[in-house]
Amino acid sequence: MAEKSTFLVNSIVICSKWKFGVNLSCRYMPEQNGVAKRQNRSVVEALREILEEKSLPKFYWAEAVWTAVYIQYRIGEKVSVYELYFRRKPNL
């Protein structure tokens, strides 16, 4: 048990050093499933868009996932991808 807590503390220290956000969640807690499902869905949607936009074969999915996650973490939740690409807010 001490190894897991030491690993967690070391992980948090490394993430804070490199200025990564740390979101801790409890395992087997159905209340937190929604957050994980939404994050996974966002990554899958971005993955599909990357592959379709550039007409890439499906064996590039791993690189597309890395790219999608990288973009989502760089952008954050303040600005949508549409706003970054077109430099204006979407007309909803």
What residue ranges do the domains of the chain occupy?
A: 28-86
Give residue 76's identity as a one-letter amino acid code.
Answer: G
Number of continuous H segments (helices) and E segments (strands) in the chain: 4, 0
Helices of type H across 2-60: 2-17, 33-53
Pick the residue with more confidence: 55 or 8? 55
Confidence of residue 77 (pLDDT cuts 50, 70, 90): low
Confidence of residue 1 (pLDDT cuts 50, 70, 90): very low
Q: What is the pLDDT of residues 19-44, one digit of tens each?
A: 666 666 666 767 767 777 888 888 88
Contacts of 62 (CB under 8 A, 6+ apart): none
Average pLDDT for the chain:
75
Confidence of residue 88 (pLDDT cuts 50, 70, 90): confident
